[in-house]
A and B are shown apart, each in its own frame.
Chain A
Amino acid sequence: MKGDRRARVLMFGWEFPPYSSGGLGTACHGLVKGLSNNGTKVIFVAPKTPKSDNSNTKLISAMSNITLKEVESMVTPYMNENEFLKELTTMPAEKISLYGKNLFQAVYLFSRRAKIIAEKEKGNYDVIHCHDWLTYQAGIYAKEVSGKPLVVHMHATEFDRTGGNGINQYVYDLEKEGLMKADKVITVSNYTKNMVVKHYGIDPKKITVVHNAVEFEQNDFPDAKINDGLKTVLFLGRVTLQKGPDYFIYAARRISDMYPNVKFIISGTGDMLPFIIQKAADLGIADKVLFTGFLKGADVDRAYQMADVYVMPSVSEPFGITPLEALKNNVPVVISKQSGVSEVLRNAFKVDFWDIDEMTNKVVSILRYDELKDELTAHGSTEVRRFSWDEPARKCMDVYENLIR
């Protein structure tokens, strides 16, 4: 590390688990903790939604180098316009001027408030770092008021989120503006780097790949397994086009033909849930598929520990932390080749998301052959210990240093 002190960071991030849904909050938490452990000072700006409590404050106060600045807002990760409007109907009328009439106004309002913080804290940071499109405008404002270099971190692109089913032009434009105005772009995989180059025309030299990691604390549930000799196959994630729940349910049918003594668990919620429930019935496996809804905190670990196999059939997965979480819980994984994590994880089965036969072949083999399951689990859980957040934190710190040198 050059210079007499480390780069200080103004970071626009997201609420940490358990209130976040999905990988973005998890990644922010891991990264901030990694930065703190490595002595990097961070001013962490996150939207405080009407439903949050003080859990962020609690988590942050446990980290020595991090200061939390909360901004009242209604934006949450992965939110789309419909979800925003639905959420808005639950808010008191007098709050609407604070949150915005629609998602894009909400993003604008959040960004204006973030700008005020950026200006006030001007002397206290050297680099700006923001996570995904909802925070890019805030990052751009901060760069304008401070003249400090901007790093934008791509955890997912609009193309991933929509599963190739028509992007939202406004979101795309905001993503592109952030990518263009950034001094450096971080992507969570080579897979995402290629998307950023291909769909947004960004110079590959401007992009650094920093793969995600996993946190090692977990809750143990010794009695999690369903007994009676039943085996369990788990899907855990948002039930949306991007995550491939439809491929999971088609594979479930084939798997139960080959291995009848099996149950399937679908953990998570999303706009495709009604379709998936209907499909399970149509395929004649309604009795074999259990839906848990959205899980948080310790229940996530419990779901993993119930499972004999974890399947991540994502159509387009920029990284995918869940397979690492599954392995951490000693569950072997079958993952989509269309994922960032498949670039770095070796002790896993990798299949094309559309290849239901191959998915079935691998899952049935794990269910049938205990020695296969044992070896995959033993080597996978050993391998996963290498994915500590220290590593991505240090890579980000290198990016900062190169920008301010």
Chain B
Amino acid sequence: MVSICFYFQVHQPFRLRKYSVFDIGKNHSYFDNKKNIEVMLKIGRKCYLPMNRLLLEQINRYKDAERDFKVSFSITGTALEQFEQYFPDVLDTFKELAKTKKVEFLSETYYHSLSYLYSKDEFRQQIEMHRDKIKKLFGQTPSIFRNTELIYNNDMAKVIEDMGYKGILAEGWDKCLEWRSPNFVYKPAGCEKIRLLLKNYRLSDDIAFRFSNRGWNEWPLTAEKYMQWVNSVNGNGTNINLFMDYETFGEHQWGDTGIFDFMKRLPEEVLRNPDNNFKLPSELVKDHEPVGEINVPFTLSWADVERDLSAWLGNRMQQSAIKQLYMLEKEIKMIGDKELLEEWRKMQTSDHFYYMCVKYFSDGDVHKYFNPYDTPYDGFITFMNALNDLVLRVKQRNGSLYLDAPAGNKSSSQVFRS
């Protein structure tokens, strides 16, 4: 028996508006509502609505069968807020999905942040915020955690285990697996109760990245062909974890590539083989004993060929910007102003740092859909200008002096100078 476990990541950041040096101290609105609405409406129509309806249809089709169709989602707080504000119809279809009881919602940081790396307090607070939001909207309390961009290491698994989670997700990266297969349930090194579910990146990326690539020797990919690959796992694994961005459907892979038809056909093809079924992450960790322990002493992610943090923290601009952002934590929390706190948190969303990524930029690679900037340098300027305004506001409110630069960081001493 092999179980297919789908997890779809749903995320939209609050993009910053063009914020210049002249705005600092004068204009306190940082976010580009117009752009954010525009993107939300576009992706909502192309991806979220049609795909939610497709899943609902397929779930209902098999809802009373012995082997049913089910999927899991992780939806960030910033995406949920934008559904509420800009596109409530999308939220309604997610609620409908929740009502089927065949859909599981996972936990993550509310702001899709890198907080684990900078503040464990903030990390836990954001997970709680997100858990409350999911409970409120969908009536579920998540028991499985996934971190931003599947950023993961042994210590983090321990923190999550201590918070009571039963499972955690990570990239099934060969470097950690060595000779082993991602298609089993594992235990993170140094943990006892929590289970580790690993992404089968080959089968996931066949859908998420390669589906429409005409240069790929397997193009065009049909549900039948895909199932041959899935079936070959039988006897060789208990579960295939297909983890991917939800924007794959209709956005990264446009509707005219046939991606929707593929997904419509897939449940039927999976269930045609009596040895296959669908399972949710919480079912996998309940039904399977770990076959071994996975040791990840370094920090892993699901991004790029490096599977590391270099996309967000690979250069000095990124490192400096995020360090200066988290330096505000103590003071902002002391002030206790809800609005300030919220703006500070919205700036923690990992996308802001991703936009500053220079690797590949010289080669002309577009690193991210809906990147609002021409260059990573523009991303940095906008972020730093807005951050400097936030710093000013914090300083005014607190009347104290923020900014004694930590040793070795010559740049942070320059905030406020000039």
A386 to chain B, nearest CB (A): 9
Interface of B is mostly: helix
B374 touches A258 (CB 8 A): no
A375 touches B418 (CB 8 A): no
Indicate if A288 sits at the interface (CB-CB under 8 A).
no
Q: Within the complex, which residue of B21, B380, B411 is in contact with A258, where a contact is CB–CB below 8 Å?
A: B21
Interface-forming stretch among B151-159, B200-208, B215-223, B314-322? Answer: B314-322
B23 to chain A, nearest CB (A): 9
B315 touches A375 (CB 8 A): yes
B316 touches A361 (CB 8 A): no
Distance of A367 Cα from B381 Cα, bound (Å): 11
A379 touches B374 (CB 8 A): no
The answer to whether residues A375 and B377 also contact, given A258-B418, A367-B418, A370-B410 and a CB cut-off of 8 A, is yes
Name A329-381 residues within 8 Å CB distance of B.
346-350, 357-358, 360-362, 364-365, 367-372, 374-376, 379
Which residues of A sit under 8 angstroms from B20, Cβ to Cβ? 357-358, 361
Q: Within the complex, which residue of B319, B374, B377 is in contact with A372, where a contact is CB–CB below 8 Å?
A: B377
A396 to chain B, nearest CB (A): 24
Distance of A383 Cα from B377 Cα, bound (Å): 15
Indicate if A125 sits at the interface (CB-CB under 8 A).
no
Which residues of B sit under 8 angstroms from A365, Cβ to Cβ? 21, 380-381, 384-385
Which residues of B sit under 8 angstroms from A368, Cβ to Cβ? 21, 384, 414, 417-418
The answer to whether residues A259 and B377 also contact, given A365-B384, A375-B315 and a CB cut-off of 8 A, is no
The answer to whether residues A259 and B418 also contact, given A370-B410, A375-B316, A379-B361 and a CB cut-off of 8 A, is yes
Interface of A is mostly: helix
Q: Mark A129-158, 1 if CB is under 8 A from B, else 0.
A: 000000000000000000000000000000
Indicate if B232 sits at the interface (CB-CB under 8 A).
no
Indicate if A270 sits at the interface (CB-CB under 8 A).
no
Q: How large is the interface on A (under 10, 10 to 19, 20 to 34, 35 or more residues)?
A: 20 to 34
B418 touches A372 (CB 8 A): no
Nearest B residue to A260, CB-CB: B418
Indicate if A219 sits at the interface (CB-CB under 8 A).
no
Distance of A51 Cα from B265 Cα, bound (Å): 81
Name B358-390 residues within 8 Å CB distance of A.
358, 361-362, 364, 374-378, 380-381, 384-385
Which residues of A sit under 8 angstroms from B380, Cβ to Cβ? 365, 369, 371-372, 375
Indicate if A61 sits at the interface (CB-CB under 8 A).
no
Nearest B residue to A229, CB-CB: B417
Which residues of B sit under 8 angstroms from A52, Cβ to Cβ? none
Indicate if A261 sits at the interface (CB-CB under 8 A).
yes
Distance of A120 Cα from B315 Cα, bound (Å): 60
B382 to chain A, nearest CB (A): 9
A369 touches B414 (CB 8 A): yes
Indicate if A382 sits at the interface (CB-CB under 8 A).
yes
Which residues of B sit under 8 angstroms from A350, Cβ to Cβ? 374
B418 touches A360 (CB 8 A): no
Which residues of A sit under 8 angstroms from B316, Cβ to Cβ? 371, 374-375
B157 to chain A, nearest CB (A): 32
Q: Within the complex, which residue of A361, A379, A382, A383 is in contact with B381, where a contact is CB–CB below 8 Å?
A: A361
B21 touches A379 (CB 8 A): no
Distance of A358 Cα from B374 Cα, bound (Å): 14
B362 touches A347 (CB 8 A): yes
Which residues of B sit under 8 angstroms from A374, Cβ to Cβ? 316
A310 to chain B, nearest CB (A): 15
Q: Within the complex, which residue of A258, A369, A383 is in contact with B384, where a contact is CB–CB below 8 Å?
A: A369
> Which of A357, A372, A382 has the most C-beta atoms of chain B within 10 angstroms of its own C-beta?
A372
Distance of A258 Cα from B375 Cα, bound (Å): 23
Distance of A258 Cα from B380 Cα, bound (Å): 18
Which residues of A sit under 8 angstroms from B229, Cβ to Cβ? none
Which residues of B sit under 8 angstroms from A383, Cβ to Cβ? 362
Chain A residues within CB distance 8 Å of chain B: 258-261, 346-350, 357-358, 360-362, 364-365, 367-372, 374-376, 379, 382-383
Please name 18 further chain A to chain B contacts, defined as beta carbons within 8 Å, in addition to the given A346-B361, A361-B381, A369-B317, sorted by A numbering: A258-B22, A259-B418, A261-B418, A349-B378, A360-B21, A360-B22, A361-B22, A362-B381, A365-B381, A365-B384, A368-B21, A368-B417, A371-B319, A372-B377, A372-B380, A374-B316, A375-B315, A375-B317
For the complex of A and B, 10 pairs with smallest distance between CB atoms? A371-B316, A361-B20, A365-B381, A259-B418, A371-B320, A370-B411, A364-B21, A371-B317, A371-B411, A383-B362
21 A-B pairs in the complex with CB atoms less than 8 angstroms apart: A258-B22, A258-B418, A346-B361, A346-B375, A358-B20, A361-B385, A365-B381, A365-B385, A368-B417, A369-B381, A369-B384, A369-B411, A369-B414, A371-B380, A371-B411, A372-B380, A372-B381, A375-B377, A375-B380, A376-B377, A379-B362
